[in-house]
Structure 1
């Protein structure tokens, strides 16, 4: 079980580095040289690059420092450690990958595939328990305390970026930036399945420990009750909680680190009424 955990960590680290590479390829070889902007902090870095020719990678690293400090205070340790790795990887790739069109000089193709590649990289990071840094960190902090999803928060920021794009370039460039952001957002949502939630049932011998771990890791309320195993005739605890689907992998890892014989089942939760926040 311990070797399986180490293997999973290696895969997650490699996934984050690969996600960073995709983000940098989309930004430096498709969007930026076509006078298009990405979303979030990278989009802000691109704007300042066009004005002052400051390195996008170096800017990205500097702007993320205060956000990572906030994340360390408010969010989970694993999330922040992986996000620090992502920011460092992003900085290196964004700084050293040449800024020039590589595959096409067609602005439509650049906007579509730039959005797909960049947002796919961000989704891969989030999928393994980290993030691309930037507004993902700030958005998650806001979502933790307010019922405002990261998607809605990012939309507000991206609308501002699009407006700036129209001013510094032209309306057509802004329209292609919108196209890129839209296609990217659809890619992001498809890979993460962000909007879907699941009701999770856990049957275990260590109900109190798992309940406490889930409360601390996900800031989710859980409900538990006693049960009897019909086959083993031994006492069990059943735990019920609702998560967004992107949290499934981390939930399984958390539960199995306490009880590797726990039974975990999930089913779609179409509607949730009550104190439930869509953190992702």
Structure 2
């Protein structure tokens, strides 16, 4: 795929993700007065406070753009310029369409706070994952979560969830505990669906019993750039000697790799194990 087509695909993903984010804020979040995670939640909280106590309407877009200045700088400095550029596209589109769609009353679907909490959390996760698939983010604390994940090799979404709960503590004091508690459910649903759909930071161990170890290793190296270790052993049932190829890849790479390995050696016996933790050198593609 050419660089132009790849960037076009990334742009379309972040644009759609940004539109879904805005749609979710208008249909579910604002309808139930919820507070999503990160800077989006802080922006909505400030809008609520200024409107309630000072009768001043803060534009969502301008406020969230201002809050994202420092995270965007972190992205350019420590993560990747192209990664940050597409993240900025997502931030701009989500902010712009949130203000535009807020004027359409027909987008109000339900006043049921539980429905808004659950489906809002799911839709929020989908919009975030679309950006992650485009090798970008939805901005705000996502920059921080990805920075931590890239440095440690572990998912940081639950850490961000904990930070968001602290923010919601203050939201409960200022605007009411019922909205804050439902927002915790919203954020929990969003973080769990994000972890379920996005597997980059999960690790999979493959144990492959094969008679074509060289071809198997070449496939692993070409597709994932990961190494492998080859052991020799004897099958007690057949009494024959076979090779076992041991490798660790990311969960996002595992599905495609297994299909290619099956093509290389249809008779291979492949044991797929979820790895809890990996210590030592492990190849990771860095954001561009």
TM-score of the aligned structures, taking structure 1 as reference length = 0.71
- The correspondence for 2:109, drawn from 78, 103, 108, is 103
Aligned pair partner of 2:279 in 260, 274, 279 = 274
Deviations 1:84-131 (A, max 9, x none): 211121221222221666111111111122212122111111122111
Q: Which runs of 4+ in 1 moved over 4 A?
A: 199-202, 222-225, 266-269, 276-280
Name the count of aligned residue pairs: 239
Structure-1 separation of matches of 2:44 and 2:187: 14
Distance 1:197 1:96, change over 3 A: same
Segments of structure 2 that go 5 or more residues without pairing to the other structure are 51-56, 207-215, 230-246, 258-263, 265-269
Please show how residues 205-244 of structure 1 align to structure 2 within 5 Å: 223=227, 242-243=249-250
* Alignment map for 1:75-90 (pairs within 5 Å): 75-90=79-94
In structure 1, stretches of 5+ residues that fail to align are 215-221, 226-239, 253-262
Q: 2: distance between equivalents of 1:103 and 1:51?
A: 24
Return the TM-score normalized by structure 2.
0.69
Q: Give the superposed CA RMSD.
A: 3.6
CA distance in 2, matches of 1:93, 1:133: 16
Aligned partner (choices 37, 43, 46) of residue 44 of structure 2:
46
Q: Aligned-pair distance for 1:83?
A: 1.0
Q: 1:22 aligns with which of 20, 24, 28?
A: 20
Change (3 A) 1:147 1:195: closer
Mapped partners of 2:16, 2:192: distance in 1 = 20
